[in-house]
Amino acid sequence: MLDQKLTQLKTIFAEMERALIAYSGGVDSTLVAKIAYDVLGDRALAVTAQSPSLLPEELEDACIQAATIGIPHEVIQTHEMDNPNYTSNPINRCYFCKSELHDTLKPLALQRGYPYVVDGVNADDLGDYRPGIQAAKERGARSPLAEVGITKAEVRQLSKELGLPWWDKPAQPCLSSRFPYGEEITVGKLQRVGRAEIYLRKLGLKNLRVRSEGDTARIELPPEEIKEFVLTTDLPTLVSAFQEFGFIYVTLDLEGYRSGKLNQVLTQNLMLSGHP
């Protein structure tokens, strides 16, 4: 079944003949870049958008992964932070982020002779609240993984079978996703969240989030890792480090890490308003 989906993916790229990949360095877009390069060679181009919402370490990883695959890779600048519709952090913030991205990529693709801009949206993404997907569609972007029904688990399985060493890389959405809707996003806030997450990763943690609410940092870890974290971490030193980053309060989410957790407020609001 998965072999059939891989064949369908290759057919999609063969029919495109030339494609520009919106490449974040995450496991999804990296798989897309790998397959595109396997089919198209130098007629595929991976492009990564650099902005304050992307950790420098993530950009470095993207560059290393692209070089490992062999696909031509370029880095461009996007300027979503100049748009108050984005920085005011409404519930459709991602729409304005992806609008900026694809409004930058599409002209670049046409200028370079690439008729298609392709992203890494997978089938599971279609079941979550992702306003950015609509922005990409409006600008003509294609999502081959979603088109052939490849799920996140299948992305990782395919990546492993194709020998990609980052097949189990944790999801790393943009840093703006760490803020509750309605709280203004600034470069300073993004930087302190980024520094806090890097600090935790250097402790050996992988699946984590540092949610930022006002002056409070809320650490999310997988539930099964919480006890060991509390028992083995030098908490006073951690708190001091986070305060140096700009936070005043440091808390631990006892429910644990769950992707898209900040979207639960949207579900709760729908229920309160009487909608299913």
Give the model confidence (pLDDT) of 19-76 as tens digits.
999 999 999 999 999 999 999 999 999 999 999 999 888 999 999 999 999 999 999 9
Mark whether 80 and 136 lie in a shared domain.
yes
User: Is 184 contained in some domain?
Assistant: yes
Tally of domains within the chain = 2
Whole-angstrom distance, CA of residue 48 vs CA of residue 55: 12
Q: Where are the alpha helices (DSSP H) in the chain?
A: 2-16, 27-40, 56-69, 84-87, 93-112, 131-138, 144-147, 152-161, 187-202, 223-232, 235-245, 264-272
Mark whether 26 and 147 lie in a shared domain.
yes
Whole-angstrom distance, CA of residue 30 vs CA of residue 23: 7
Predicted confidence (pLDDT) at residue 272 exceeds the cutoff of 60: no
Tell me the average pLDDT of the chain: 93
Mark whether 100 and 150 lie in a shared domain.
yes
Sole residue written with tokens 């992702």: 130
Q: 94-119 pLDDT, tens per residue?
A: 999 999 999 999 999 999 999 999 99
More confident residue, 248 or 266: 248
172 and 58 Cβ atoms separated by less than 8 Å: yes
Mark whether 63 and 193 lie in a shared domain.
no
Q: Which of 115, 265, 114, 82 is nearest to 179 (CA)?
A: 265
Which of 104, 127, 161 is at the close of a domain?
161
Mark whether 12 and 149 lie in a shared domain.
yes
Mark whether 65 and 189 lie in a shared domain.
no
Which of 106, 135, 161 is at the close of a domain?
161
Whole-angstrom distance, CA of residue 204 vs CA of residue 201: 5
Predicted confidence (pLDDT) at residue 269 exceeds the cutoff of 50: no
Mark whether 112 and 149 lie in a shared domain.
yes
Mark whether 16 and 149 lie in a shared domain.
yes
Mark whether 90 and 117 lie in a shared domain.
yes
Mark whether 22 and 111 lie in a shared domain.
yes
Residue-number span of the structural domain to which 33 is assigned: 2-161
Mark whether 105 and 189 lie in a shared domain.
no
Non-local (6+) Cβ contacts of 137 within 8 A are none
Q: CATH code at 213?
A: 3.30.300
Q: 135-169 pLDDT, tens per residue?
A: 999 999 999 999 999 999 999 999 999 999 999 99
User: Is 166 contained in some domain?
Assistant: no
Mark whether 185 and 97 lie in a shared domain.
no
